[in-house]
Structure 1
Amino acid sequence: MDELSYLEEKCKTIRRHIIRMIGDAGGGHPGGSLSAVEIVTSLYFKVMRIDPQNPNWPERDRFIMSKGHASALLYAALAERGFFPIEDLATFRRPWGKLAGHPDMHKVAGVEMTTGSLGQGLSVANGMAIAAKYDGHNYRIYVLLGDGEIQEGQVWEAAMTAAHYKLDNITAFIDRNGLQIDGSTETVMRLEPLTDKWRSFGWHVIEIDGHNISAILNAVTEAQQVKGKPTVIIAKTIKGKGVSFMEGQVEWHGKAPTGELYTKAKMELGCE
């Protein structure tokens, strides 16, 4: 199996985990988890230098799931990558389990930052990036932001900071699925012209199809070659990608499929 086929198959596996976790738990955020599968899969299974057997390795690359409600996606990737047993995914959102609705860095191996209060991930990435430069480390920090999330003012303060300090070891992804909990991002709080805004803040900007793995990998390679400024990759995605009745539907932002719809989702994704 070639590399691209391997990553595509891994995406299918991770989507199955997401649906099972959320469906069995009766709660979670399927829409924004499914929309970013290709991004997170590409990072964990191709791009990032990480060691699941040594999760605190000082030279590891860091990933921050700033949109912490998409925890099901992060947990699925971590389990598949070997940070903890895949069987543990069945404890998602259970009171006795470690896999809470939002990721906790003190409980789950491989989680770099406790997130869930939106808007904070890029600020944390700035701290990590500055520390790396001071300490002489060459690790990179990757951040996944929701497009609704970037309506938060702290994101833009962090964007200014990253550009000011020339943090070229940061690559941010924006999961640009166009929907947030209350509806369209352009109705709730208009983001466009998004590309021009990030450029005006001093960032190198790349726009891609967020479901195209080759485009994701090429964008990351480009970002790694940029010097003197951080890079943001605006990834056009589809909320609920992979499940027909969820795709592009805002009501699946934070609702678990039940009954016949849960069965249909599992069938479409090839769950056993």
Structure 2
Amino acid sequence: MRHHALDMGEVQGQGYVGQALGAADMFAAVYADQLRFRAEDPDWEGRDRFLLSTGHYAIGHYAALAEAGIVPVSELATYGSDDSRLPMSGMSTYTPGMEISGGSLGHGLTIAVGTALGLRHRGSAARVFNFLSDGELDEGSTWEAAMGAHHHRLGHLTAMVDINALQADGKTDTVLRTEPVADKWAACGWFVQRVDGNDVPALLAAFDAAAAQAAPEGVPSVILCDTRVGKGVPLLEEREKAHFMRIEENEWQICREQLAAGYQGEGK
């Protein structure tokens, strides 16, 4: 999936590659281990819903959709191009498997609450997963939705927050401090876990714990995932301006080589 993100980024020469690399383990854990779906029928009524609040993370989501067989891997080469089904920001009207259109942050959890309520009223056993970012926790609507999920006892709702400590205007703690963030979610009545979002076994254990207590009526779950922007590619991990990366033409192959070396145990 990280290689897919680099390939897509090279199509445009820039983009939200750092977030895709950092959150790849989160996407992989959900799609490989938790989400019920049918690749040949993305609109299957019995599917679990995965809602991407952070529309600019679509590059990472597309990599997951490709590995899940929902989008052909060959189609990733059209990322961000005219008439592509894979625009730079997620659009539900274009992309199979994309449940909502992302743009302005702060809407995703609200939509997830409504989706979970609707599924429960219809007697569906489907779960709802909502991917958020730490910058999105600046938005008041997110916390209104968090309180609403507890009020309505949406035990089949799981939120996953990418805490990479960076947003468009700079470091998250200098824009608006949200720590102690785990305490805030707990105060809203959620089952809270915090893990290293780049530690796959830790992620799987956290998702299993959330699944074990999931129910149409119960306590909603949130998994706070500390990640590193550009994870797996040292060249990008150290980049100061990493929210929207511009990567030079000669750097893409270096990124691939560093990524491959890390998985062979020859680097970090």
- Which aligned segments of 4 or more residues in structure 1 are displaced greater than 4 angstroms? none
Q: 1:202 Cα deviation (Å)?
A: 0.9
Q: Residue in 1 aligned with 2:257?
A: 267
**What is the DSSP-based 3-state SS (H/G/I as helix, E as strand, rest coil) of the residue aligned with 2:98?**
coil
Q: Residue in 1 aligned with 2:245?
A: 255
Are 2:157 and 1:167 aligned?
no
Code of the aligned partner of 1:236: D
Are 2:104 and 1:117 aligned?
yes
Q: Residue in 2 aligned with 1:139?
A: 126
Q: Residue in 2 aligned with 1:8?
A: none
Q: 1:70 Cα deviation (Å)?
A: 0.9
**What is the DSSP-based 3-state SS (H/G/I as helix, E as strand, rest coil) of the residue aligned with 2:160?**
strand
Q: 1:248 Cα deviation (Å)?
A: 5.4
Q: Name structure 1 gaps, 5 residues minimum.
A: 1-13
> What is the TM-score with the length of structure 1 in the denominator?
0.91
Q: Distance in 1 between matches of 2:99 and 2:133?
A: 18
Q: Distance in 1 between matches of 2:111 and 2:67?
A: 25
**What is the DSSP-based 3-state SS (H/G/I as helix, E as strand, rest coil) of the residue aligned with 1:246?**
helix
> What is the TM-score with the length of structure 2 in the denominator?
0.92
Which of 8, 22, 25 is matched with 1:35 structurally? 22
Q: 1:42 Cα deviation (Å)?
A: 1.0
Code of the aligned partner of 2:36: R
Conservation of the 8 A alpha-carbon contact between 1:176 and 1:237: yes
**What is the DSSP-based 3-state SS (H/G/I as helix, E as strand, rest coil) of the residue aligned with 2:235?**
coil
**What is the DSSP-based 3-state SS (H/G/I as helix, E as strand, rest coil) of the residue aligned with 1:259?**
coil
Q: Distance in 1 between matches of 2:240 and 2:24?
A: 18
1:103-114 alignment, distance < 5 Å: 103-114=90-101
Are 2:197 and 1:197 aligned?
no
Q: Name structure 2 gaps, 5 residues minimum.
A: 262-268
Q: Distance in 2 between matches of 1:178 and 1:56?
A: 34
Q: Residue in 1 aligned with 2:166?
A: 179
Which of 182, 189, 196 is matched with 1:209 structurally? 196
Q: How many residues align?
A: 258
Conservation of the 8 A alpha-carbon contact between 1:123 and 1:155: yes
Q: Residue in 1 aligned with 2:266?
A: none
What RMSD over aligned residues (CA atoms) do the two structures have, in Å?
1.4
Q: 1:77 Cα deviation (Å)?
A: 0.8
Conservation of the 8 A alpha-carbon contact between 1:181 and 1:250: no
Q: 1:259 Cα deviation (Å)?
A: 2.3
Q: Percent identity, please.
A: 37
Are 2:87 and 1:97 aligned?
no
Are 2:41 and 1:51 aligned?
no
Are 2:135 and 1:148 aligned?
yes
Code of the aligned partner of 2:84: G
